[in-house]
Amino acid sequence: MPQIRPAAPEDVSAIHRLIYELAVFEKAPEQFVLTQEKLLEDGFGASPKYICFIAEQEQTILGMSFCYLRYSTWKGPVLYLEDLIVSESHRRKGIGKALFEFTCDYALAHNYTRLQWQVLDWNQSAIDFYKRFNASFDPEWLNAWVELKK
C-alpha cells in the first residue's frame, strides 16, 4: 500500500501531470491552462490556496487528493475536495480509497464540518466509489460560475 503524505514543492510537476491526466479523462485537455509555476505559488507561497495529499510508493507518485477551504454559512468550515486522482495505470488497487480516507481523517482532525466534492454524472465508476462511503448526492443544486478576466 502506498504512503499518503502532504504534498511538497518538489511534487508540483507530478501534481501538474496528474491534473492533465484528469483533464484528458474528462475529455477537456484544452481547458487545462494552469502552469506549474502557478501551482507552486498557489500551494507553497506566502498564502497557500490549496492542500494536497500525495499517494507515493517506491518514490513514484501514484495519485493525489487536491483540496481547499470553503465556508458554509450554515455549517462552518468545509474541506472541498476539488480532485481525487489516481494515475490510470494504478487504479483499482485501493489507492483512491486510501487517499479519500486520509482526506476525511484530515478534515475531522482539523474540525471541518464536512467534506464536499462534485462528480460528473457520466463517471459511474466514481459515483460507485463514493457510494461505498455512504456519500450523499444533491439532486437540487446546479453548478454555476462566471469566468473572471482582467
How does pLDDT run across 50-79, given as a tens digit for each residue?
999 999 999 999 999 999 999 999 999 999
Q: DSSP class of residue 56?
A: E
pTM score: 0.90
Residue 138, domain member (yes or no): no
- Sign of the torsion angle spanned by Cα atoms 11, 12, 18, 21: negative
130 catalytic residue (yes or no) = yes
The answer to whether residue 145 sits within a structural domain is no
According to DSSP, the residues that pair with 65 across neighbouring strands are 53, 84
87 within 8 A of 2, measured Cβ to Cβ: no
Mean per-residue pLDDT, 101-109? 97
* Separation between Cα atoms, residue 148 and residue 92, nearest integer Å: 38
Domain assignment present for 144: no
pLDDT at 146 over 80: no
Quick check: is 117 in a domain? yes
The C-alpha cell at 131 is: 457510494
The pLDDT assigned to 105 comes to 96
Task: State the pLDDT at residue 16.
Answer: 98
Among candidate residues 80, 106, 112, 130, the one labeled active-site is 130
Range(s) of the domain holding residue 39: 3-131
Q: What CATH number should be reported for the domain holding residue 89?
A: 3.40.630.30
The count of domains in the chain is: 1
Task: Please give the average per-residue pLDDT across 21-32, as a whole number.
Answer: 95
Distances 41 to 33, 36, 77, 100 between C-alpha atoms, Å: 15, 9, 23, 25
Q: Within a domain: residue 26?
A: yes
CB 3 within 8 A of CB 56: yes
Residue 14 located in a structural domain: yes
Closest alpha carbon to 53 in 91, 25, 15, 88: 15
- Which grid cell sits at 14? 507530478
